[in-house]
């Protein structure tokens, strides 16, 4: 009781509502080597012109947590036009929120002007979702409109001080994810914050504050009002965060996966494919963490594969021919998902390439394997096969055969080819029967 009272008293007057806490290096411990040189230059240039300028948001949070940030955002009291005038290679983007992209070497920094908090005049939809806000504000207001306390930190790379209005550094050190303001209304303003809570807490190993956690189950339905393209962006972030497995487990624990996104339903509610999907996500996580390239096409191909298999199986049971049945199954699954997932044509093409090559791994006779490894998408298809074997969908022996085949030189590969039962095949072709029963993908796809 007394403790509770003390806590309330403390909360009320420290840190002051107007002055941020100033955190010295000794406490935040940011490693300068992890700070982007270009981000520092942007801040220096702005400060040199008499403006305030700080590295802000996720980058500061990650730096304090000892994680190398993937991008650096800068917040300033300069207007977009003023920022634009200071950097030769820069441009103003965005309509709803005007920000400036400053290009420096290979890096693009997002520079945003401090934005005001919402007030009763802010335009919202009938559920409380904010529709428009582009009013510049003070640094304090800018901090107040951010979502979580750990995301509202401002780092001056010149003085190496961190400015903290909402005890974010404490929360980060105590491994707690706390909302700025009332979580329920902050979720209503922007339901995507529910996903962010889960994704960022998984990434940083933070525990959701009970007040952040409690309303999620009740408000999860609000996600339906979020434009699909925005949800898709969030999903991509989640899937390629390097912590996808952990994030999905947490989403499930919060009851957030249900009906939230069609893709998530696919991922989490297919018992057969779950092992396969989890292996794929774990391998994506490992690649992201090792800074290796990843491709949305490959990941989506794995996420939807068991849908395709089930659909294909049904068609074969209905006596459709295997090859056309596979094509039809692929198209149907992609059509169902592509719209909701905003999968681009190019990505859809990558996905199909990977799927189409799968049945051809069964063909180990004749010249087929030699042609197969010349396929432009062979490497991705082979990685896909490895996951299929690991999840138990195809025999490990098949994957091992291909691994050995790839490793061999030309003579070694020739020696591995199984005898071609050429006679039988020629005959069946001659009669114009369905081409290569066992090999679903036609040679025409070569
Ligand atoms: P990541 O590591 O995935 O980039 P992030 O927190 O940096 O995480 P961004 O989308 O880059 O995410 O956002 C940058 C900053 O903008 C956040 O740290 C936060 O301060 C603020 N922000 C982002 N999304 C929201 C939101 N939905 N509501 C309020 N503030 C937000
Ligand atoms: Mg970020």
DSSP E strand boundaries for 11-150: 21-23, 53-56, 73-76, 90-93, 99-104, 107-113, 123-124, 130-132
Distance from Cα 251 to the centre of ligand 2, integer Å: 20
Three-state secondary structure call for residue 91: strand
State residue 380 phi and psi, 5-degree precision. -65, -40
Residue written as tokens 């591995």? Answer: 416
Which tokens is 213 given? 């956690």
The closest of 177, 173, 181 to 195, measured between CA atoms, is: 177
Where are the chain's structural domains?
Answer: 1-174
Measured between alpha carbons, how far apart are the two ends of the chain, in Å? 74
Q: Ligand 1 in contact with 129 (CB < 6 A)?
A: no
- Note the pLDDT of residue 430: 41
The partner residues of 113 in beta bridges, in order of sequence, read: 76
- Note the pLDDT of residue 347: 85
Distance from Cα 255 to the centre of ligand 1, integer Å: 23
Ligand 1 atom closest to Cα of residue 203:
2
Which tokens is 424 given? 């039988």
Q: Over the range 392-412, which residues count as b (16 or more CB within 10 Å of their CB) and which as e?
A: ebbeeeebebbeebeeeeeee
Residue pLDDT tens, the chain, 446 long: 555 555 554 444 444 457 899 999 999 999 999 999 999 999 999 999 999 999 999 999 999 999 999 899 999 999 999 999 999 999 999 876 789 999 998 899 999 999 986 665 566 677 766 655 557 889 999 999 999 999 999 999 999 999 999 999 999 999 999 999 999 999 999 999 999 999 999 999 999 999 999 999 889 888 878 887 787 788 889 999 999 999 988 888 877 766 555 566 666 666 667 888 889 999 999 999 998 988 888 998 998 898 899 899 999 999 999 889 999 999 998 887 766 666 778 888 999 999 999 999 999 988 899 999 999 999 999 999 999 999 999 999 999 999 999 999 888 898 898 887 654 444 444 444 443 333 344 333 33
Q: Ligand 1 in contact with 130 (CB < 6 A)?
A: no
Rounded alpha-carbon distances, angstroms, from residue 400 to 90, 191, 295, 363: 51, 46, 24, 14
The angle at the Cα of 435, spanning 322 to 427, to the nearest 5 degrees, equals 140
Per DSSP bridges, beta strands 53-56 and 99-104 are unpaired
pTM: 0.79
Supply the residue whose CA is at minimum distance from atom 2 of ligand 1: 58
Rounded alpha-carbon distances, angstroms, from residue 180 to 7, 191, 266, 278, 377: 17, 15, 33, 33, 47
CATH superfamily assigned to domain 1-174: Beta Polymerase, domain 2 (3.30.460.10)
Q: How far apart are CA 163 and CA 156, in angstroms?
A: 8
Of 34, 54, 58, the one to substitute when testing ligand 1's pocket (max ligand atoms within 8 A of C-beta) is 58
Q: How far apart are CA 356 and CA 301, in angstroms?
A: 11
**Cβ(250)–Cβ(201) under 8 Å?**
yes
Q: How far apart are CA 344 and CA 337, in angstroms?
A: 11
Q: Give 112's DSSP letter.
A: E
| The dihedral sign for the CA sequence 306, 312, 318, 322 | negative
Residues involved in catalysis? 71, 73, 147
Q: Ligand 1 in contact with 350 (CB < 6 A)?
A: no
Q: Give 362's DSSP letter.
A: G
- Note the pLDDT of residue 229: 77
Distance from Cα 61 to the centre of ligand 2, integer Å: 10
Q: Ligand 1 in contact with 284 (CB < 6 A)?
A: no
């Amino acid at each position: 009781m007394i403790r509770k009272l003390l806590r309330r008293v403390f909360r009320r007057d420290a840190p002051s509502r107007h002055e941020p806490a100033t955190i010295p290096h000794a406490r935040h411990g940011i490693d300068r080597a992890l700070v982007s040189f270009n981000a520092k230059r942007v801040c220096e240039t702005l400060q040199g012109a008499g403006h305030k300028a700080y590295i802000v948001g996720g980058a500061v949070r990650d730096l304090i947590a000892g994680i190398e940030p993937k991008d650096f955002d800068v917040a300033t009291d300069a207007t977009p036009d003023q920022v634009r005038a200071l950097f030769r290679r820069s441009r103003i983007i965005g309509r709803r929120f005007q920000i400036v992209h400053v290009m420096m070497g290979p890096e693009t920094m997002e520079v945003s002007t401090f934005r005001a908090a919402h007030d009763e005049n802010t335009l919202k939809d009938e559920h409380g979702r904010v529709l428009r806000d582009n009013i510049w504000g003070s640094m304090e207001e800018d901090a107040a409109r951010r979502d979580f306390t750990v995301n509202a930190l401002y780092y001056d790379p010149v003085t190496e001080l961190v400015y903290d209005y909402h005890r974010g550094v404490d929360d980060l050190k105590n491994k707690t994810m706390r909302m700025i303001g009332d979580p329920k209304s902050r979720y209503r303003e922007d339901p995507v914050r529910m996903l962010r809570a889960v994704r960022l807490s998984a990434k940083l190993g933070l525990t959701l504050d009970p007040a952040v956690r409690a309303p999620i189950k009740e408000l999860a339905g609000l996600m339906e009002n979020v434009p699909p393209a925005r949800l898709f962006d969030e999903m991509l972030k989640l899937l390629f965060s390097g912590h996808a497995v952990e994030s999905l487990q947490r989403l499930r624990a919060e009851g957030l996966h249900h009906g939230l996104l069609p893709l998530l339903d696919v991922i989490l509610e297919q018992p057969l494919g779950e092992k396969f999907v989890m292996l794929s996500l774990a391998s994506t996580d490992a690649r992201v963490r090792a800074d290796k390239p990843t491709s949305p096409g490959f990941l989506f191909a794995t996420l939807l594969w068991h849908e395709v298999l089930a659909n294909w199986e049904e068609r074969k049971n209905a006596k459709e021919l295997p090859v056309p049945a596979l094509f039809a199954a692929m198209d149907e699954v992609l059509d169902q998902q592509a719209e909701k997932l905003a999968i681009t044509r190019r990505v859809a093409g990558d996905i199909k390439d990977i799927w189409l090559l799968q049945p051809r791994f069964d063909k180990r006779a004749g010249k087929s394997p030699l042609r197969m490894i010349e396929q432009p998408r062979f490497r991705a298809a082979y990685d896909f096969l490895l996951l299929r074997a690991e999840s138990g969908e195809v025999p490990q022996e098949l994957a091992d055969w291909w691994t050995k085949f790839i490793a061999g030189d030309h003579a070694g590969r020739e020696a591995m080819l199984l005898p071609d039962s050429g006679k039988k095949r020629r005959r069946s072709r001659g009669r114009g029967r369905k081409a290569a029963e066992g090999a679903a993908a036609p040679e025409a796809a070569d």
